[in-house]
Every structure is written in C-alpha cells, then in structure tokens.
C-alpha cells in the first residue's frame, strides 16, 4: 500500500494556545457588528518621523492609535460598558486598553497581552514608553498569556484544569468588575506593523464591547479639494457588541476616531517641543 501520509511533525497543543482558544470561544456569545473603514494616517506618520528627527524620540505608531481610541472611548462612554448579571450594565470611567505585545521566552517571540490602564489619561509618549517596557519584559511558560505582572488569582487561573477555566470564564462573563480588572475595558490589536502587510484585520472573539483591529497601510489616490493626491490609508475594523451599542452610536464613534487620527491627536505637542 502506498504511503499517503508522508513526512510530518507533531507537537503538543500548548496550555497558552488552549487559554487563547477558551477566550475566543466567549466571542461566539456576543452579537458583534463590524465597521470596516480606511483612515488617513499620512500626516500622523509624517509627524512621528519629524518628532524622531527633531527630538530623537521614537513614538510608537500603535501607541498613538491607542491614544486616539482611548480618547474616543472617553467621549463615548457606552463603548466602555459591560453587562453585569442579567439586568445591569456598568460603565467605567477608566479606559483600560488591552493590546498584544510580543515578549521573548527562551530566545523566541511569544504573543502576550498587556493592559494599558487609564490610557485616556496618558500621553502618547507615556503609552509608547509603557509598550516598550512591556516588550522588554521577560516571561516564563506559566505567564505566557498575560505577561509578568500577574495577581495570585491570575496565576491560579492560568494553571488550573480546563473545567475550572470554563467555570471561571462563565463567572467573568457575568461580572463587569472582574472583566475590567483582569482583561481591561476594550482592546486594540494590530498586525499591520508585521512585515509589509497591507490587508484587513478582522476582530473575532474576546471579552470586550469594543475591539479595534488595525490592518495594513496602503498608498491610494484620494480626492482632496477636487484634486487627486496620494495618501497613506490605514485599514481599520471596529467591532462592537450590539447588545450594548447600536449602529448609529457606532457610526458616530468611527467618525470621531477618524477625525482624531486625521488631526494627529496627541502628537502636535510633541512636535512643538
């Protein structure tokens, strides 16, 4: 009989992948609506380069976008809201933004989550420094999902058997305060900075009312003042829990977010230094 399998390699489906799968599983319970938009980041990228040339400061492009998202959320607090139990909703003042950060373990990069607490109150420079510090932070196998700064409860949850994790996920799903404490209030995820990626990044799963997924940047012709010019357009997906937010507020949110990005929000003060 001919060998139809051929050569192959197998490895264990690791604990961290199981944890990520469990978190994504919760997304199936949410009624998500998506908005796919393109945001002009031409001036923002120019300003980031100018800041580096003038001051030597390397401002994080992702950090700047996080600041714009956090400011927009602070202006539209319904996006910073979780359901609590069956009949309540809780709106938080602090905008705690969860972002993916690659950290190094045994010389290899691993994806982890870092929560930028009170991102609405931090400057772009503060957010940049926090992201850089998180990237430099070493991790060990038992801290692979959430990084180094774990509570005793989080360490227990990560190492617990899967049936306990599923029970905890049910408790978290129904408790707004636990969700904020351990997961933040919204998320910004990006893959556009990896290589020369130019496509869309569609948010799935998660524990948030708002997820902003950053895709790639593409140069395209745009009409400005009846003239065709080449601009750098960022692909962006905002995913919202329809149980909490309707379509009209979502449209206003995305319009405001585009405005802040187009106005280089949070960068102008740095450029004037």
Spatial distance between the Cα atoms of 145 and 182, rounded to a whole number of angstroms: 12
What's the confidence (pLDDT) of residue 144?
Answer: 47
What's the confidence (pLDDT) of residue 141?
Answer: 54
Which tokens in the block code for residue 98? 């969860």
What's the confidence (pLDDT) of residue 211?
Answer: 94
Query: What residues pair up with 218 in beta bridges, in sequence order?
Result: 233
What's the confidence (pLDDT) of residue 146?
Answer: 47
Which tokens in the block code for residue 242? 């329809």
Spatial distance between the Cα atoms of 109 and 120, rounded to a whole number of angstroms: 29
Give the phi and the psi of residue 228 in degrees, each rounded to 5.
-90, 120
What's the confidence (pLDDT) of residue 81?
Answer: 96
Q: Where are the alpha helices (DSSP H) in the chain?
A: 15-25, 42-55, 61-75, 124-136, 152-159, 162-173, 176-183, 247-262, 268-272
Structural domains of the chain, ranges and CATH numbers in brackets? 22-272 (3.30.559.10)
Spatial distance between the Cα atoms of 145 and 17, rounded to a whole number of angstroms: 9
With H, G, I as helix, E, B as strand and everything else as coil, classify residue 2: coil
Query: What residues pair up with 228 in beta bridges, in sequence order?
Result: 223
With a cut of 50, list the residues of the chain below it in pLDDT. Answer: 1, 144-148
DSSP 8-state class, residue 107: T
What's the confidence (pLDDT) of residue 266?
Answer: 93
The structure tokens 């938080």 sit at 92
Calculate the CA 273 to chain-centre distance: 29
Give the phi and the psi of residue 158 in degrees, each rounded to 5.
-65, -35
Spatial distance between the Cα atoms of 1 and 15, rounded to a whole number of angstroms: 38
């Amino acid at each position: 009989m001919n060998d139809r399998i051929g050569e192959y390699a197998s490895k264990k489906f690791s604990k961290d992948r199981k944890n990520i799968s469990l978190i994504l599983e919760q997304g199936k319970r949410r009624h998500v609506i998506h908005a796919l938009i393109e945001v002009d980041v031409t001036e923002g990228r120019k300003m980031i380069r100018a800041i580096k040339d003038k001051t030597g400061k390397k401002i994080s492009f992702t950090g700047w976008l996080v600041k714009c998202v956090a400011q927009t959320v602070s202006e539209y607090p319904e996006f910073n809201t979780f359901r609590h139990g069956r009949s309540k909703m809780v709106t938080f003042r602090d905008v705690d933004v969860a972002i993916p950060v690659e950290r190094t373990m045994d010389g290899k990069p691993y994806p982890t989550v870092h929560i930028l607490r009170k991102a609405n109150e931090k400057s772009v420079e503060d957010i940049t420094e926090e992201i850089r510090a998180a990237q430099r932070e070493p991790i060990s196998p038992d801290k692979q999902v959430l990084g180094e700064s774990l509570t005793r409860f989080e360490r227990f949850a990560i190492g617990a058997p899967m049936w306990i994790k599923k029970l905890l996920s049910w408790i978290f799903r129904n408790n707004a305060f636990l969700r904020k404490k351990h997961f933040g209030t919204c998320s910004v995820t990006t893959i556009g900075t990896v290589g020369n990626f130019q496509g869309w990044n569609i948010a799935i799963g998660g524990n948030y009312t708002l997820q902003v997924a950053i895709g790639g940047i593409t140069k395209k012709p745009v009409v400005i003042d009846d003239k065709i010019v080449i601009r750098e357009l960022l692909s962006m997906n905002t995913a919202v829990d329809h149980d909490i937010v309707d379509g009209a507020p979502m449209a206003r949110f995305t319009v405001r977010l585009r405005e802040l990005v187009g106005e280089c929000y949070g960068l102008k003060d740095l450029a004037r230094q």
